[in-house]
Chains A and B, each alone.
Chain A
C-alpha cells in the first residue's frame, strides 16, 4: 500500500472543533507541514489567541502558550527574546490583531521582532457569534451591524498588510487565501517562507489569510467560498506587500 497523504507530525491527534467549511483547519495543517518540512518542529513555540483558535494550543504538537486577546505579538516577543533559538509564531484573528491588538502588532513590526504572525481574516468575530470586525466589509451584515456596516457610523474595513507595509521593520507581508486548491498551495508557500525567514533572522514576517466563516456569514460552504472571491478579494487583494531579505 502506498501512502499518498498523511497528517503532519506537527499536529496532534485531537479532533479539531472548527465548523465545517472553516479555514482555520486548513491553515493549521499548512503550518504543521511547514514545521515538518523545515525540520523545526522541536523548537517551535506557538501563541494561540482568544477567538475561534483559542484551542489551537491543543492542535499543534509543539509547545504552546495561550494568552490574552490581541496580545499575541507581545507574548511572542517575550518568548522570542527569552529563547532566541525558538521559532515563535503568533496566530491571530482579525478582531484580535486588527482591533484590540492593533498596538501590539504594529509595534512588534516596528521592532522587527523576528517572529512569524499568521493572521486569519474572515471579516467577522467568530467565537463571540458574528459581531462586526475591523475587517468587516462595507454593507456586510453582522450582529452588531444589523443593517450592514455603514461607513458613516462604523468606518471602513482596515487593510493590515497595506498598513504594515509602511513600517520599516515589517520585512515580509503577504496576503493569501484558502478558497481553492491553487490558493491553498500558494498559501502554503507563503507560510513556509514566513517561517524560513525567522530561521534566517530576517525579521517580522506576517501572512494574512483570507478565510471563510460559513457559520457566521450564514452561508453554505460554496457560498462562503464565493464570498471570499467576489466580496473579500476586491477589498483585500492577494499578493506580496513587502519582501525584504536579510542583509
Chain B
C-alpha cells in the first residue's frame, strides 16, 4: 500500500504496469493515451525493461507477440482506431496462448471519430475484432486507482490462463487526475520464475519450445482444448461491484466511467425516495451473468447505462434472459451521462415513460430512406466496353 497521491489516469496505468513487472512496451502515438508511451519511454529502461516506439499499431502488437513469447511481461496501449489495427496481433496472441496486456483508452468512434472519451469498443473488446474463436479477458476500471492496480491483476490472470488480457478504459479515465494508491508492492519479474513454454536462451537440454499460431490439422483439438480454459475463466473469474442491489426497484448496469455517473444517480434517487441500485461489471469478459441473473429476479426493471449505442445491453439481456424488462440509457460517440440524465431514464422505467430510454426502432420511427442513383448515366461510358 502506498499513500494516496494525485495521479493522471494514463500515468497511474503506466506506473502500475511497471510496478506489476511489465518489462516490454511497444506503442504508437494516439490521443487520448499518449501519456502511457511517454511515461514508458522515460521510466521503462530504468526498470530494466525495453520501450519501443513502433512504426505502427500493427508492428507494436507483433512486437508484444515476440516479447510475450519469451515469457516477459509485455504490453501495448492504444486508443480505439489503434486497437482496430491491433486485432490481427490479438487473435494471433490468443491462438499462440500468449499472456500479455493490451490497454484501450477508448475514444469516440466509428472511424477516426473524435478524441472524446467514449465506450464504443465494448463489442470490439468482448467479441473480438480478430478472426476465429477466441476470447480476451477484459477488465474495466472505473477509477484512476483501478487503472493503476489492474495491470498487476491483468498480468496475473493473463499468465494463469495463458490468454491476452485487455484493460478497457474510457478516454476520460486516462486524462483525469485523481487521488489513488497502489495496493501492491512492486513486483520483481526476475523473482517470478521462468515460463516453461517460453522461447529463451540457455535451453540446458530441455526440449525446444515453439510458440506458434498455425495449427493445421490439430486446430479443432487446439480450439476445443482452449475452450476449457475459457469455461474455467467464466466460472471463476467474473468480477463485479454492487451498490444498493438488495432492495431496489430499478437496477442500473454500467461499467467504467458511466458507473460513476450511475452512483450519483443512486444517491440522488435515495433523496427522492426512489430505490435504485447499481451493478458494475468489472470483468466484461467473463461477463458476471450469474450474479446479474440473480439480481434481476429481485428488481422491477433493469436500466443499462452505456456510452455506446446498445452494446453492453446485449450482454445484460443475455444474462437476464427475459426475466425482467431491460432498458437502455445510451450516450454514444463521446456523450457523457450525469446523475440527472440517468434519473430521468430511471423515472421512465418506473412510470412507463419514454424520456431517456433509447430504442433504435423508435428512434427511426418517422425516418424514410431511399438509396438514389443517377439513372441518367445508365450504361454509358466504359460500361459498354465490358464483355
Chain B interface residue count: which class?
35 or more
Contact of A82 among B56, B62, B66 (CB under 8 A): B66
Q: Is B89's CB under 8 angstroms from A68's CB? A: yes
Give B68's nearest chain A residue, CB to CB: A78
Given contacts A66-B214, A82-B74, contact A76 B203 (CB under 8 A): no
B340 to chain A, nearest CB (A): 48
Give A73's nearest chain B residue, CB to CB: B59
Q: Is A82's CB under 8 angstroms from B67's CB? A: yes
B56 to chain A, nearest CB (A): 6
Given contacts A42-B203, A54-B214, A74-B54, contact A79 B208 (CB under 8 A): no
Q: Is B209's CB under 8 angstroms from A63's CB? A: yes
Q: Is B212's CB under 8 angstroms from A82's CB? A: no
| B274 interfacial by beta-carbon distance below 8 Å | no
B64: which A residues are within 8 A, CB to CB? 78
**Stretch touching chain A among B194-202, B320-328, B341-349:** B194-202
| A193 interfacial by beta-carbon distance below 8 Å | no
Q: Is A74's CB under 8 angstroms from B59's CB? A: yes
| B211 interfacial by beta-carbon distance below 8 Å | yes
| B177 interfacial by beta-carbon distance below 8 Å | no
A81: which B residues are within 8 A, CB to CB? 24, 50, 52, 63, 67
| B210 interfacial by beta-carbon distance below 8 Å | yes
Q: How many A-B residue pairs have CB under 8 A?
A: 137
| A123 interfacial by beta-carbon distance below 8 Å | no
| A150 interfacial by beta-carbon distance below 8 Å | no
Give B66's nearest chain A residue, CB to CB: A78
Q: Is A83's CB under 8 angstroms from B202's CB? A: no
Query: Which B31-60 residues have C-beta < 8 A from chain A?
Result: 50, 52, 54-56, 58-60
| A75 interfacial by beta-carbon distance below 8 Å | yes
| A192 interfacial by beta-carbon distance below 8 Å | no
| B65 interfacial by beta-carbon distance below 8 Å | yes
B24: which A residues are within 8 A, CB to CB? 78, 81-82
B204: which A residues are within 8 A, CB to CB? 42
Q: Is A65's CB under 8 angstroms from B199's CB? A: yes
B8 to chain A, nearest CB (A): 26
Query: Which A17-76 residues have C-beta < 8 A from chain B?
Result: 42-43, 45, 47-48, 50, 54-55, 57-58, 61-68, 71, 74-76
| A85 interfacial by beta-carbon distance below 8 Å | yes
| B88 interfacial by beta-carbon distance below 8 Å | yes
Q: Is B208's CB under 8 angstroms from A75's CB? A: no
Given contacts A45-B201, A104-B55, contact A75 B63 (CB under 8 A): yes
Q: Is A71's CB under 8 angstroms from B65's CB? A: yes
A76: which B residues are within 8 A, CB to CB? 66
| A103 interfacial by beta-carbon distance below 8 Å | yes
Q: Is A67's CB under 8 angstroms from B55's CB? A: no
B270: which A residues are within 8 A, CB to CB? none
Tell me the bound Cα distance from A50 to B208 in angstroms. Answer: 20
B213: which A residues are within 8 A, CB to CB? 66-68
B23: which A residues are within 8 A, CB to CB? 82
Contact of A83 among B59, B60, B201, B209 (CB under 8 A): B201
Q: Mask for B65-107, Cβ within 8 A of A = 1, else 0?
A: 1111110101000000000000011001000100000000000
Query: Which B91-134 residues have C-beta < 8 A from chain A?
Result: 92, 96
Tell me the bound Cα distance from A50 to B66 in angstroms. Answer: 15
Give A75's nearest chain B residue, CB to CB: B66
| B26 interfacial by beta-carbon distance below 8 Å | yes
Contact of B66 among A43, A58, A67, A106 (CB under 8 A): A67
Tell me the bound Cα distance from A64 to B214 in angstroms. Answer: 13
Q: Is B66's CB under 8 angstroms from A64's CB? A: no
| A86 interfacial by beta-carbon distance below 8 Å | yes
Given contacts A45-B199, A68-B92, contact A63 B67 (CB under 8 A): no
Q: Is A77's CB under 8 angstroms from B214's CB? A: no
Give A50's nearest chain B residue, CB to CB: B214
B356 to chain A, nearest CB (A): 45
| A229 interfacial by beta-carbon distance below 8 Å | no
B88: which A residues are within 8 A, CB to CB? 68
B60: which A residues are within 8 A, CB to CB? 74
B68: which A residues are within 8 A, CB to CB? 78
A66: which B residues are within 8 A, CB to CB? 96, 210-214
A63: which B residues are within 8 A, CB to CB? 199-200, 203, 208-210
A55: which B residues are within 8 A, CB to CB? 214
Q: Is B63's CB under 8 angstroms from A78's CB? A: yes
A220 to chain B, nearest CB (A): 29
Tell me the bound Cα distance from A63 to B70 in angstroms. Answer: 10
B213 to chain A, nearest CB (A): 6
Give A111's nearest chain B residue, CB to CB: B52
A45: which B residues are within 8 A, CB to CB? 70, 199-201
A210 to chain B, nearest CB (A): 26
Give A62's nearest chain B residue, CB to CB: B208
A-B contact pairs, 28 of them (CB 8 A): A42-B202, A42-B203, A45-B200, A50-B214, A55-B214, A63-B210, A64-B199, A64-B209, A64-B212, A67-B213, A68-B65, A71-B59, A74-B54, A74-B58, A74-B66, A77-B66, A78-B63, A78-B65, A79-B70, A81-B24, A81-B63, A82-B50, A82-B74, A83-B72, A103-B58, A103-B59, A107-B55, A111-B52
Lowest 4 CB-CB distances: which A-B pairs, in order? A78-B66, A78-B67, A63-B199, A75-B66
Known: A68-B89, A78-B69, A83-B200. 20 other contacts (CB 8 A): A42-B204, A50-B214, A55-B214, A63-B199, A64-B210, A65-B66, A65-B211, A66-B212, A67-B65, A67-B213, A74-B66, A75-B63, A75-B66, A76-B66, A78-B67, A80-B66, A82-B72, A103-B55, A103-B56, A110-B55
